[in-house]
Amino acid sequence: MPVWVTTAGEAAERDRSAIESGTSSRVLMQRAGTAAAHEIARRYGGRLAAGVAVFTGPGNNGGDGWVVARELAAMGAVVTVIEALPPKTADASAEKNDALGVITQATAAAEAGIAVDALLGTGSSGQPRGELGAAVDALNGLGSRGVAVVSLDVPSGLD
C-alpha cells in the first residue's frame, strides 16, 4: 500500500497557502482531522476494536489529534487521548472541548491497536524534551510492540 510522504516545509506551505486564500486554521484543523480519521478507519479498521491512543501536543497538530479522536469515537472506537501538554492555541482548545465527553483522557497509553501521533507538527524542530520527549518515547514503544502508529503532518521528533 503506497504511503504519501511530504516534508514539513511542504506541509507548512500548503497550510499557509490555504489560510491566505481565506480558509481559517480551525476549518483546516477540522478537515485534516476528519480526513485522517477516515483514512485511519479505512486502512486500519480491523484494529479499531483494540482501541485507539491519540497523543496530543500543545499546538494545532494536537488540535488535529482531538478532531481525530472525536471522529474515531463517533465511528465506535474506544479512544484514549494522552495529552502531553495542554493546548496553547484557541483552535486546539476548542477542538479539545468538542471532543471531551466522547473520549477518555489518560496519562499513559493503555493497550491499543492504533496510536496516533499528534504531538508536534510542521513548525517544530530539534529533539523533543520533557513531556513531549516522554510521549515520543511512549509512541515508539507502542510501535515496537506492533501497534500501528500513524503520524499527523510529520512524525514527531524527526527534522
Q: What is the chain written as a DSSP string?
A: -------HHHHHHHHHHHHHTT--HHHHHHHHHHHHHHHHHHHHGGGGGG-EEEEE-SSHHHHHHHHHHHHHHHTT--EEEEESS---SHHHHHHHHHHBTTBEEESS--S-SEEEEES--TT--S---HHHHHHHHHHHHHHHTT-EEEESSS-TT--
* Cell 482501541, residue located: 51
Quote the CA–CA distance of 141 and 45 in Å, as a whole number. 22
How many domains, the chain? Answer: 1
More confident residue, 54 or 158: 54
Quote the CA–CA distance of 108 and 82 in Å, as a whole number. 6
Q: Does the residue 69 lie in any domain?
A: yes
pLDDT mean over 109-122:
87
Q: Does the residue 38 lie in any domain?
A: yes
pLDDT digits (tens, 9 = 90+) for 76-109: 999 999 999 999 999 999 999 888 877 877 766 7
State the residue range of the domain holding 84.
Answer: 8-151
CATH assignment of the domain containing 145: 3.40.50.10260
Give the pTM.
0.88
pLDDT digits (tens, 9 = 90+) for 27-79: 988 999 999 999 999 999 999 999 999 999 999 999 999 999 999 999 999 99
Q: Does the residue 159 lie in any domain?
A: no
Q: Does the residue 156 lie in any domain?
A: no
Q: Does the residue 82 lie in any domain?
A: yes
